[in-house]
Amino acid sequence: MGNHRSTDRWLGIAAAIVLLIAAVLVVLPFFSALLWASIVSITLWPLRELLAHRLRLGSNLAATLISLALLGLLVAPIAAASVLLANYTEDLLAQVRNLMQDGLPEPPLWLATIPFVGHWLADQWANYRHDGSALLSQSLALLEQHRGLILSAAREVSSGIAELLIAVFLSFFVLRDGERIAAWLSQGARRLSEEGPELLRLTARTIEGVVYGIVGTAVVSGLLGWAGYAIAGVPKSLTLGLLTFLGAFVPFGTALVWGPAAFWLLQQGETPWAMFMLVWGALVISSADNVIKPMLISRGSAMPFVLTLVGAVGGVIAFGVIGVFLGPTLMALAWFLVMQWMARALPMPTQQRIASSSKRNAVGEDPNDAL
């Protein structure tokens, strides 16, 4: 009878493990989108509380309004880019067609003056000057050579957009049922460890710090970019500063703004200002991502600045874009656990315990007994 009960128990445990693995496999394709939805919900939770409780809109309406706003922020740039692409597609195709027929025009005089690579670029340009067939064959060869990379990039972009749409959809449910989800997580964490609820609060604070760090870094990068463009005399410096702000959300995105600005200055014959723009962009604008962002992130936890920097950079290397959030959060949790472990009283060695016990006994003796 006992053997049957033991067998049934082990069969139940095995069935539970199989069921858990199957559930993980089902959720795994949506793990990244669910993670993004959790990050967005934690960041926007104060706004949800304002709408749901202070304005008394209810959790359903508050989550709906925030999700629609997120959807608008996601769809609006894609729609604007599609409209711009549709407006300029015909002109772009006409210019490409002319290049393939007539080849490249005469190289500009400033091309050979570019330091280090100017003469090489001028020689390469001369190979395809007024020779459309050579330019066409070389372009087709490059497309064929990098076809896999182009298709992979297209798949990554499309899957990224789909993942963001799923994340917005999931964020509605996280925002609506966030209080119950937080209660479940807190109860489960308390069952695992006494420090479980504190770890959950630390995770939320770190994620908020990362988001504020990213946005704050983008603002600083935009302001520094606007100042640099204005000093160098680049036209529409305010618009370029806004583009620098948007580019700061993407790794090396600011270089896509200040780099062409420096190239334009070089094309205009303003070589000193072009060099200034390159130095300003590389050392001032881009440094904000490596200095200001970790400083802002570290304000969300008591973790040292250098560990925050290591977490932010190492997280991106290890996990990709989502690593910006995972890296500092994991480092903060590890730092908290190490500090909790070090704060606990260490057991005394045996000889020290004996000496301490003898000392207490001697102090506790009655002097009359000694006489």
pLDDT digits (tens, 9 = 90+) for 234-266: 888 888 888 888 778 766 778 888 888 888 887
Residues with Cβ within 8 Å of residue 10, at least 6 apart in sequence: none
109-146 pLDDT tens trace:
767 777 777 788 788 777 777 666 776 677 777 777 77
**pLDDT surpassing 70 at residue 13:** yes
Q: Could you give the percent of the chain with pLDDT greater than 90?
A: 8
Which span out of 40-49, 76-85, 95-104, 283-292 was modeled with the highest average pLDDT?
A: 40-49
Please give the angle made by the CA atoms of 154, 158 and 160, to the nearest 5 degrees.
115
| Among 260, 256, 237, 234, residue whose Cα is nearest residue 246 | 256
- Type of residue found at 255: A
Q: Which residue has the higher pLDDT, 189 or 107?
A: 189
Q: Is the pTM of the predicted complex or chain greater than 0.75? A: no
Question: How many percent of the chain have pLDDT more than 70?
Answer: 79
- Count the alpha carbons within 13 Å of 209 in the hemisphere toward its beta carbon: 28
CB 48 within 8 A of CB 181: no
Q: 225 with 257: CB under 8 angstroms?
A: yes
**CA-closest candidate to residue 308, choices 284, 286, 325, 287:** 325
pLDDT at 64: 93
User: In this predicted model, what pLDDT tens digit does every residue of 46-66 receive, in sequence order?
Assistant: 899 999 888 888 889 999 999
User: What tens digit of pLDDT does each residue of 288-330 get?
Assistant: 766 777 777 666 556 676 777 777 778 777 776 667 677 777 7
Identify the residue whose tokens are 């064929």: 144
Torsion of CA 266, 271, 276, 279, to 10 degrees: 70
Residue-level pLDDT at 291: 74
- What's residue 173's pLDDT? 92
**Between 3 and 76, where is the model more confident?**
76
Mean confidence (pLDDT) of the chain: 77
Confidence at residue 81, expressed as pLDDT on a 0 to 100 scale: 63
Q: How would you class 218 by CB atoms within 10 Å of its CB: exposed for 0-12, middle for 13-18, buried for 19 or more?
A: buried
